[in-house]
């Protein structure tokens, strides 16, 4: 057993040289939003050598597993950001296990964010009437539905829970004008993202809410991101008004739109491109 301080130092030395296989979700896009240093060391522990015990072969295997799954996650993430929702749906349909690989990596990334956007949305919902019906577009592990009393339609590409509707969210089985709140929490991933928002518009009741949380760097025009004003303009042209925009969080931006009572949507909306969040290996 490597219990001496020398052994510990040796392990630490290794960790210092070999940084985790993951890079923060937004770092490849905007260096100003790097993960804080305190969580970097934590990430080294998580993604690097197993921290418990001194069994070298277990540590080595853990390290190799972490490296492989990190690479697999980055590949899936890039795929989701660079293909259409339909292609993503077909891809996961062929091998639903990949969805778990994706979400294991996603959770690892998110564990370094100081605040989770889904928690802000949960707080927002809890401050309102529980009778509001919600559609969570791209629900992931359906945390939202599990955290509120409201009726929530959880939608994602793969259903690992009977409550989740598996579909491409540009075409959901939800009734038109049937929900009060539509949520996109870090889920505008496909190249055809405007069709997801158009679908949300279809299922929302007049006066309903559209909440969109997205990675901040995707809306940083100084770094190739979209202009948030242009994005808001496009959603407004679909028949919404912008109730508020929350720029206070380090990692994400949150838009609160409200569907107009009498919506007249423009047919030729100019949607800005939302650049993918590609993870690079360090
Ligand atoms: N909203 C969750 C999960 C975000 S990860 C949270 O905040 O924790 C983004 C999710 O969007 C993934 O689970 C992904 O599968 C889903 N997604 C991306 N494109 C989709 C599409 N076209 N249809 C349905 N779900 C989609």
Helices marked H in the chain: 5-17, 37-47, 56-82, 85-94, 97-110, 117-126, 143-147, 193-203, 228-237
> What is the rounded distance in angstroms from the CA atom of residue 101 to the CA atom of residue 72?
7
pTM for the model stands at: 0.82
How high is the pLDDT of residue 185? 98
Is residue 36's pLDDT more than 60? no
Model confidence pLDDT, tens digit, residues 67-82: 777 788 999 999 999 9
For 96, which DSSP code? Answer: T
> What is the rounded distance in angstroms from the CA atom of residue 187 to the CA atom of residue 214?
8
For ligand 1, is residue 194 a contact (CB within 6 Å)? no
Report the residue among 140, 167, 174 best suited for mutation to probe ligand 1: largest number of ligand atoms under 8 A from its CB.
140
User: Interhelix angle for 85-94 vs 56-82, to 10°?
Assistant: 140
For ligand 1, is residue 106 a contact (CB within 6 Å)? yes
Q: Give Cα separations from 166 to 63, 89, 160, 182, 240 (angstroms).
A: 33, 9, 9, 17, 27
Identify the top-confidence range among 19-23, 52-56, 164-168. Answer: 164-168
45-51 average pLDDT score: 34
107-136 average pLDDT score: 96
Is residue 85's pLDDT more than 80? yes
Confidence of residue 57 (pLDDT cuts 50, 70, 90): low
Report the residue among 135, 174, 189, 279 best suited for mutation to probe ligand 1: largest number of ligand atoms under 8 A from its CB.
189
Model confidence pLDDT, tens digit, residues 207-249: 999 999 999 999 999 989 999 999 999 999 999 999 999 999 9
Confidence of residue 44 (pLDDT cuts 50, 70, 90): very low
- C-alpha triplet 161, 167, 112: angle, nearest 5°: 60
How high is the pLDDT of residue 263? 73
Report the residue among 85, 101, 138, 142 best suited for mutation to probe ligand 1: largest number of ligand atoms under 8 A from its CB.
138
For ligand 1, is residue 190 a contact (CB within 6 Å)? yes
For ligand 1, is residue 187 a contact (CB within 6 Å)? yes
> What is the rounded distance in angstroms from the CA atom of residue 258 to the CA atom of residue 215?
21
Q: Give Cα separations from 45 to 17, 38, 40, 52 (angstroms).
A: 13, 12, 9, 10
163-185 average pLDDT score: 98
Is residue 203's pLDDT more than 60? yes
Ligand 1 centroid to Cα of residue 29, in Å, is 19
How high is the pLDDT of residue 266? 74
Mean pLDDT value across the chain: 82
Sign of CA dihedral 215, 221, 225, 231: positive
Q: Does residue 176 or residue 30 have the better pLDDT?
A: 176
> What is the rounded distance in angstroms from the CA atom of residue 258 to the CA atom of residue 133?
15
């Amino acid at each position: 057993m490597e219990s001496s301080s020398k052994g510990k130092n040796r392990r630490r030395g290794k960790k210092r040289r070999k940084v985790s296989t993951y890079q923060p979700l937004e770092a490849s896009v905007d260096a100003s939003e790097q993960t804080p240093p305190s969580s970097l060391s934590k990430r080294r522990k998580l993604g690097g050598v197993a921290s418990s015990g001194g069994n070298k072969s277990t540590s080595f295997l853990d390290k190799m597993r972490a490296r492989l799954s990190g690479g697999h996650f980055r590949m899936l993430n890039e795929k989701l950001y660079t293909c259409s929702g339909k292609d993503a749906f077909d891809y996961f349909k062929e091998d639903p296990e990949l969805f778990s690989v994706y979400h294991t990596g996603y959770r690892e990334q998110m564990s370094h964010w100081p605040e989770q956007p889904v928690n802000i949305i949960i707080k927002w919902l809890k401050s309102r009437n529980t009778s509001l019906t919600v559609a969570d577009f791209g629900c992931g592990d359906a945390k939202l539905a599990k955290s509120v009393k409201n009726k929530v339609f959880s939608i994602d590409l793969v259903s690992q829970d009977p409550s989740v509707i598996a579909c491409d969210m540009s075409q959901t089985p939800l009734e038109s004008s049937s929900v009060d709140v539509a949520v996109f929490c870090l889920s505008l991933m496909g190249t055809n993202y405007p069709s997801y928002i158009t679908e949300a518009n279809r299922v929302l009741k007049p006066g309903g809410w559209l909440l969109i949380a997205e990675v901040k760097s995707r809306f940083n025009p100084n770094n190739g991101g979209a202009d948030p004003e242009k994005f808001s303009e496009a959603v407004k042209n679909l028949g919404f008004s912008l109730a508020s925009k929350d720029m206070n969080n380090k990692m994400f931006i949150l838009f609160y739109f409200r569907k107009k009572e009498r919506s007249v949507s423009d047919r030729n909306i100019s949607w800005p491109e939302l650049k993918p969040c590609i993870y690079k290996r360090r």
